[in-house]
């Protein structure tokens, strides 16, 4: 038989041996395949993907016109914050916070109107007692949202007040229209002096109207915002700025009418012209005021809203997003543990001594183990993918996660195979530096822990300090997670860097473990 054939037979001996060893341990098969799947399933069923609700106590001032009903505050804050009660005793509320009976204490300021009138912002103290940085961020974010909401409602209330005041403006305009009719009647009767008196009365009203229109226009002004809209939300209805020029023109027309009437012989034609212009201006202003009143105060308070569209091929879903990562993490861990334990066991059993005196070489041993573990893990990956991606239900109980696989099978298989290849190499490397099974398991667990923290799927890699991020790229899981997410969730080939990275790591681990294993194998 040829040398090459014998090499193949020797390597194949390990394939058969490893597969038989696993086959002889049904519990191991159970824990290798069903264990990871149930972890995935529990994760999919159990993970809500929603932030927890917070409980709060509201401290209201002892005096003042404040609601004393928790329901009023609850209606304002929505579901994320549960109002546990109202109190006027700040110390009692803080005591509850210190005892962690509630998450937040919100202290309502006592002299809101006074502070706003004085031109200063009103501070709303919100206290919490949190050591969890994630919850700390969540509370901070939530309170920011609530204060924004509070500000918006305040502005909306002010706008509503402005709309109410616009009713006074319309009354003033009606009075002016009445005066205009009186002027016309006086002029028809030739009562110029009486008509002039009415014009002066109109001049006073015109000043007030100009002021009111200016205030309305200020509410609508968009120049102070960060983003100038390309066009207003409804230009027909909202363009109250035009009202300012109309009111200014009205003032001018009234003055010109007054000047005309003060002439010795007022020109009846010009006077009629002025009167007609004033009526037109009054009609325009009345129409604009009416339009202003019809606008939703919340639109005045928050004229912009975002229109967000997710262009990803699958809807963002916590289970679908994490499933590829968890699968890769499990495959990496099983591969590392199997490979590390296998080599350590050979040493502890004493079989290495048998190998040394037999014609088998370290490369044949490693090749045989690579092939057997790749086959075994490939089978596990196939079963897990099948269970993950189908919609299997028994009696209404979901037995799969329905994770989509949008991409081609080729990049999927390639990514998984490369992850397995690199992970087995890492396992061999661990075995080369481990003196016992427990040491190998400990190191495998450390790699698992590192993968969870630095693998980039629970914590974004961007959140890591760059030198530490280098560690992420020494782990097969990092490349595998991104590669598999791209294939499964986006339906595209993984970026070359992920596949080449895995290949590079695999070759590096294989070379290092081969050198160390050969040294140990031949050491006399």
The piece of 242-250, 275-283, 355-363, 417-425 that touches other proteins (CB under 8 A) is: 355-363
Shortest Å distance, C-beta 516 to other proteins: 18
| Residues 6+ positions from 355 with CB-CB distance below 8 Å | 346, 365, 521
Quick check: 329 binds other proteins (CB under 8 A)? no
126 forms bridges with which residues in the sheet? 106
Identity of the residue, 67 or 361, whose beta carbon is nearer to other proteins in the bound complex: 361
Binds other proteins by CB under 8 A, chosen from 71, 349, 446, 500: 349
Is 511 near other proteins (CB under 8 A)? no
**Closer residue to other proteins, CB minimum distance, 351 or 389:** 351
Token couple for 89:
């005793």
Residue 264 binds to other proteins (criterion: CB under 8 A): no
Separation CA 202–CA 205 (nearest Å): 5
Rg of the chain taking only CA atoms, in angstroms: 39
Q: Contact between 343 and other proteins (CB under 8 A)? A: no
- What is the C-alpha separation between 94 and 128, in angstroms, rounded? 9
Q: What angle do CA 422, 424, 426 make, to 5 degrees?
A: 70
Which two three-digit tokens encode residue 137?
Answer: 């961020």
Candidates 118, 312, 357, 397: give the one binding other proteins (CB under 8 A): 357
**What is the nearest approach in angstroms of other proteins to the Cβ of residue 5?**
8
Identity of the residue, 11 or 127, whose beta carbon is nearer to other proteins in the bound complex: 11
**Cα–Cα dist 288/58, whole Å:** 42
Give the pairing of strands 54-59 and 104-107: parallel
Q: Which of 360, 388, 422, 429 binds other proteins (CB under 8 A)?
A: 360
Q: From residue 85 to residue 124, what is the string marking binding to other proteins with x (rule CB under 8 A)?
A: ----------------------------------------
**Binding-site member from 68, 189, 200, 356 for other proteins (CB under 8 A):** 356
Partnered with residue 394 across adjacent β-strands are 397
Neighbours of 223 (CB within 10 A): 6
Query: Considering only 4-12, 171-179, 255-263, 403-411, which stretch makes contact with other proteins by CB under 8 A?
Result: 4-12
To other proteins, the closest distance from the beta carbon of 9 in angstroms equals 5
Residue placing its CB nearer to other proteins in the complex, 278 or 344: 344
User: Which among 175, 169, 280 is positioned nearest to 183, based on CA atoms?
Assistant: 175
- Contact flags string 16-35 toward other proteins, x per CB under 8 A: xx--xx--xx----------
How many angstroms separate the Cα of 109 from the Cα of each of 97, 112, 156?
19, 6, 20
Which residues face 58 on adjacent strands?
Answer: 86, 106
Return the residue of 133, 235, 350, 467 that touches other proteins, per CB under 8 A.
350
Closer to other proteins by Cβ: residue 348 or 500: 348
Tell me whether residue 25 or residue 140 sits nearer to other proteins (CB atom). 25
- Chain-centroid distance, C-alpha 519: 52
Instruction: Confirm or reject binding of residue 7 to other proteins (CB under 8 A).
Output: yes
Which region, judged by CB under 8 A, interacts with other proteins, from 278-286, 344-352, 399-407, 509-517?
344-352
Sign of CA dihedral 153, 155, 157, 159: negative
Q: Are the C-beta atoms of residues 384 and 390 closer than 8 Å to each other?
A: no
* 338's tokens: 């199997």
Least distance between other proteins and beta carbon 10 (Å): 5
Nearer residue to other proteins within complex by CB, 311 or 522: 522
Residue for token pair 């927890």: 52
To other proteins, the closest distance from the beta carbon of 12 in angstroms equals 6
Q: In 3D, which of 143, 124, 144 has the Cα closest to residue 54?
A: 143
Query: Which two three-digit tokens encode residue 456?
Result: 């980039």
Pick between residue 24 and residue 264 the one whose CB is nearest to other proteins: 24
Cβ neighbors of 157 (< 8 A, separation 6 or more) are 297
CB nearer to other proteins: give 324 or 362: 362
Nearer to other proteins, 119 or 350 (CB): 350
Helices (H), 132-191: 133-188
Binding residues for other proteins, rule CB under 8 A, total 29
Q: Rule CB under 8 A: choose which of 37, 73, 128, 355 binds other proteins.
A: 355
Residue in 442, 469, 491, 455 with CA at minimum distance from that of residue 331: 455
Q: For the CB of residue 354, give the shortest distance to other proteins in the complex, in Å.
A: 5
Contact 55, 93 (CB under 8 A): no
Instruction: Examine residue 359 and tell whether it contacts other proteins (CB under 8 A).
Output: yes
370 lines the binding site for other proteins (CB under 8 A):
no
Task: Choose one: 1-9, 293-301, 408-416, 506-514; the region binding other proteins (CB under 8 A).
Answer: 1-9
In the numeric block, which tokens belong to residue 17? 């041996």
Question: In the complex with other proteins, which residue's Cβ is closer, 9 or 507?
Answer: 9
**10 vs 96, which CB is nearer to other proteins?**
10
CA 60 to chain centre: 32
Q: Is 117 exposed, middle or buried (0-12, 13-18, 19+ CB in 10 A)?
A: exposed
For other proteins, the binding residues (CB under 8 A) are 1, 3, 5-7, 9-10, 12-14, 16-17, 20-21, 24-25, 349-351, 353-360, 522, 524
């Amino acid at each position: 038989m040829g040398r090459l054939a014998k090499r193949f037979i020797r390597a194949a001996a390990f394939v058969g041996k490893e597969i038989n060893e696993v086959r002889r341990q049904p519990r191991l098969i159970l824990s290798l395949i069903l264990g990871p799947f149930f972890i995935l399933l529990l994760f999919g069923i159990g993970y809500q993907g929603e932030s927890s609700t917070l409980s709060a106590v509201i401290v209201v001032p002892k005096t003042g016109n404040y609601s004393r009903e928790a329901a009023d505050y609850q209606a304002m804050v929505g579901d994320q914050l549960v109002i546990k009660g109202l109190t006027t005793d700040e110390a009692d509320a803080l005591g509850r916070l210190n005892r962690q009976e509630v998450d937040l204490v919100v202290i309502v300021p006592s002299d809101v109107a006074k502070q706003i009138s004085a031109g200063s912002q009103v501070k709303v103290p919100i206290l919490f007692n949190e050591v969890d940085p994630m919850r700390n961020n969540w509370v901070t974010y939530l309170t920011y949202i609530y204060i924004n909401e509070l500000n918006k409602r305040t502005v909306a209330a002010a706008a509503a007040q402005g709309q109410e005041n616009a009713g006074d403006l319309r009354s003033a305009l009606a009075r002016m229209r009445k005066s205009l009719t009186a002027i016309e009647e006086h002029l028809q009767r030739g009562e110029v002096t009486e008509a002039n008196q009415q014009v002066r009365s109109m001049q006073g009203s015109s000043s007030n109207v100009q002021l009111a229109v200016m205030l309305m226009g200020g509410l609508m002004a968009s120049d102070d915002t960060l983003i100038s809209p390309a066009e207003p939300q409804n230009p027909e209805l909202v363009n109250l700025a035009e009202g300012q020029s109309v009111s200014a023109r009205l003032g001018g027309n009234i003055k010109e009418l007054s000047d005309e009437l003060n002439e010795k012989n007022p020109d009846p034609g010009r006077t009629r012209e002025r009167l007609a212009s004033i009526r037109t201006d009054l009609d325009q202003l009345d129409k604009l005021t009416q339009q202003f009143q019809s606008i939703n105060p919340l639109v005045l308070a928050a004229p912009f809203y975002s229109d967000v569209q997710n262009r990803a091929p699958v809807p963002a879903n916590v289970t679908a997003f994490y499933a590829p990562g968890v699968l890769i993490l499990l495959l990496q861990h099983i591969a590392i543990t199997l490979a590390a334990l296998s080599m350590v066991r050979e040493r502890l059993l004493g079989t290495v001594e048998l190998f040394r005196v037999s014609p088998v070489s370290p490369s044949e041993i490693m090749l045989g183990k690579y092939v057997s573990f790749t086959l075994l893990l490939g089978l596990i990956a196939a079963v897990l993918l099948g269970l993950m991606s189908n919609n299997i239900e028994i009696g209404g109980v979901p037995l799969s996660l329905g994770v989509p696989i949008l991409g081609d099978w080729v990049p999927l298989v390639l990514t998984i195979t490369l992850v397995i290849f690199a992970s087995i190499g890492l396992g061999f490397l661990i075995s080369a530096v481990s003196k016992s099974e427990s040491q190998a398991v400990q190191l495998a667990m450390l790699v698992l822990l590192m993968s969870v923290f630095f693998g980039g799927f629970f914590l974004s890699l961007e959140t890591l300090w760059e030198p530490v991020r280098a560690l992420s790229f020494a782990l097969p899981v990092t490349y595998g997670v991104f590669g598999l997410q791209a294939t499964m969730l986006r339906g595209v080939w993984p970026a070359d860097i992920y596949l080449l990275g895995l290949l590079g790591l695999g070759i590096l681990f294989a070379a290092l473990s081969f050198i160390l294993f050969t040294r140990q194998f031949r050491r006399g």
